[in-house]
Amino acid sequence: MSQVHIGPITGGSLTSVPGFKAAGVACGLKPAGALDLALISTAQPCVAAAVFTTNAFKAAPVLYDQALLAHPEARISSVIINSGCANACTGEEGLQDTRATAQAVAQALGIKADQVAVMSTGVIGMRLPMAKIFTGIEKASQTLSSSTEAGHAAARAIMTTDTHPKEFAVRVQAGSWQCTIAGMAKGAGMIHPNMATMLCVLATDAALTPQVANQALREAVEESFHRITVDGDTSTNDTVLLMANGLSESKAITSLKSPEYGYFLQGLKRVATELAKAIVRDGEGATHFVEITVQGARTPAEAKQVGMSVARSPLVKTAIYGEDANWGRIICAVGYSGVPIEPEKVRLWLGDLELVRGGKPYHIDEERASQLLSQRDISIIIDLGMGQASTTVWTCDLSHEYVNINAHYRT
């Protein structure tokens, strides 16, 4: 097994992956001519895999894509994404709108409708304004380009309350084996694992089998998008889609046990994790980015459960917003996580400052704590003292601005 090198591509986008073209256009779903329709396309029918929201109210495009990808021979070559309207809670009419969207893309690009995936994000319960969508598809298909700028425009077109686009691309090299992996995502609010108002498209030129694509995506999502929370709400529209066009001349990955699977997975995890962290960093109203590492757990699942319990606590999140070293709230959230813990074994660090040892306050240096909490990035380490398992999750603080954004989102 060769040493693998994951090299980030500065300023990269989905179009950094050979064969992938993109477009981001304005079709009038958002006010003031903002970009609101993204099209991603490659000439090669791609092996694809996806992870969808667990919400029982699944938006029309989620139901549509689920059915599409359930087919064992599914090959996707394009994905069309609109912001501004979620096409959720829109019944049979909403499904018809999604179908018509896919058909319009297929027609514009001269491909089959079952090669087109559809995603939507925005307000729930509103029908898609189809005339605008059709005009937008026309425009997008004409401006498809492999330029980095086109990739950036697509990333911008899928934003809702995001303050900036989220993109990441890497080149994976291990000996003579290589591939490119890139992704774009949108997030902001309603971010919680399984998953969130979160859309993500991942693209690669690696040649994968459907089984490999599926397994790699599941593993990568588990360590990235399923370990972040902004506010604990899981949306109706979440989708992470992986498309592999196979253009790379390196050896195809056909086995989960091959060294190449390991190389690819490492690259995919890196892209997914960077995008997941970017979503949290840009969480609605966030003023702090918080990394929570739980170690000394009996199992990785218990480590994650404790971490997510802390990550979603409104009291922890408001304390961090207030830059208050209120470790008691962190300990409290550890305590109600549902994981059986032994309080007298628990240790807690803020950065390198040990605040709790043996379940009790330990040499609290308030001045140093305040200094650590004044940083934008905050690290919390919790040691349960019960085993060897560990995991890391990410969250942001809960600010006045979060309330501002969400009190009047529709209006």
- Which are the catalytic amino acids? 197
Q: Confirm or reject binding of residue 301 to its own copies (CB under 8 A).
A: no
Query: What gap in Å lies between CA 275 and CA 265, rounded to an integer?
Result: 15
Name 67's Cβ contacts closer than 8 Å, sequence gap at least 6: none
Q: How far is the CB of 305 from its own copies (least distance, A)?
A: 12
Interface residue with its own copies among 57, 67, 112, 371 (CB under 8 A) is 57
Q: Confirm or reject binding of residue 406 to its own copies (CB under 8 A).
A: yes
Query: What gap in Å lies between CA 215 and CA 71, rounded to an integer?
Result: 16
DSSP 317-338: HHHHHTT---HHHHHHHHHTSS
Q: How many residues make contact with its own copies (CB under 8 A)?
A: 63
Q: How far apart are the first and last CA of the chain?
A: 56
Residues 223-262: x where in contact with its own copies by CB under 8 A, - otherwise, as a string: --------xxxxxx--------------------------
Residues 361-380: x where in contact with its own copies by CB under 8 A, - otherwise, as a string: x-------------------
- What does the chain come to in residues? 411
Q: For residue 213, what are its two tokens?
A: 């694509």
Answer whether the bond into residue 243 is a cis peptide, omega within 30°. no
Interface residue with its own copies among 47, 88, 207, 308 (CB under 8 A) is 88
Handedness of CA 217, 157, 10, 286 (dihedral sign): negative
Q: Confirm or reject binding of residue 279 to its own copies (CB under 8 A).
A: no
Handedness of CA 89, 91, 97, 98 (dihedral sign): positive
Q: How far is the CB of 241 from its own copies (least distance, A)?
A: 21
Site for its own copies in 316-345 (CB under 8 A): 318-319, 321-322, 324, 326-329, 331-337, 339-341, 343-344
Interface residue with its own copies among 26, 124, 256, 389 (CB under 8 A) is 124
Q: Confirm or reject binding of residue 54 to its own copies (CB under 8 A).
A: yes
Q: Which is nearer to its own copies, 175 or 358 (CB)?
A: 358
Q: Note whether 68 and 50 are within 8 A (CB).
A: no
Q: Confirm or reject binding of residue 70 to its own copies (CB under 8 A).
A: no
Q: Which is nearer to its own copies, 103 or 406 (CB)?
A: 406
Name 216's Cβ contacts closer than 8 Å, sequence gap at least 6: 49, 208, 242, 261, 264, 265, 268
Q: Confirm or reject binding of residue 408 to its own copies (CB under 8 A).
A: yes
Residues 139-178: x where in contact with its own copies by CB under 8 A, - otherwise, as a string: ----------------------------------------
β-bridge pairing 239-244 and 37-52: antiparallel
Query: What gap in Å lies between CA 348 and CA 250, rounded to an integer?
Result: 46
Give me the residues that bind its own copies (CB under 8 A), please: 54-58, 86, 88-91, 123-125, 189-190, 231-236, 312-315, 318-319, 321-322, 324, 326-329, 331-337, 339-341, 343-344, 356, 358-361, 398-400, 402-404, 406-411
